[in-house]
Chains A and B, each alone.
Chain A
Amino acid sequence: DVKVTQSSRYLVKRTGEKVFLECVQDMDHENMFWYRQDPGLGLRLIYFSYDVKMKEKGDIPEGYSVSREKKERFSLILESASTNQTSMYLCASSPLTATTEAFFGQGTRLTVV
């Protein structure tokens, strides 16, 4: 069964902290994504990666960075967390281009206080 696993369901962090959100997929997919989900705004793409060590900015990359050292793992990094980064973060993976469906993790709800 296809699986995308995010390391935490809920996180509470303080303003200014460096935050790591981890995502692992077991499907040998080339592509991995990080989305941010906010009410009324839908899913907004932060970063995506189409290969190991390869990454591209999405629509809202400011304040975030990513790391993909291994094919199965894609990390989202908040260099200095701020309250406006309080949100639901969703990781996804897909095997090919956007002509095939993406598979999503269960999400991480991050609260920055």
Chain B
Amino acid sequence: DIVMTQTPLSSPVTLGQPASISCRSSQSLVHSDGNTYLSWLQQRPGQPPRLLIYKISNRFSGVPDRFSGSGAGTDFTLKISRVEAEDVGVYYCMQGTHFPPITFGQGTRLEIK
């Protein structure tokens, strides 16, 4: 199974400042079709997860443009350009390339300083 490792596990950020979360996979996430199926999910307190970014860098419908994704192969990054209060929660990277199984990172808790 593909292991997804996120860093940091906790990220205190000042409102209006940027935040960055890294995700590393134990194998390349490039699919045989040429796509890389790495996505980012956000889980606000008490809520189910929701899709933020798919295929490394594509924002899902309704996701603010302060969220961006980048990376390739085994190393990926989620960036928030200016953190807002509503961004508090846990962020997960997820791979769909080597399915089954789907695997998730451990989660990174974003909190406001």
Please say whether chains A and B are actual partners in one complex.
no
A residues near B (Cβ < 8 Å) are: none
B residues near A (Cβ < 8 Å) are: none
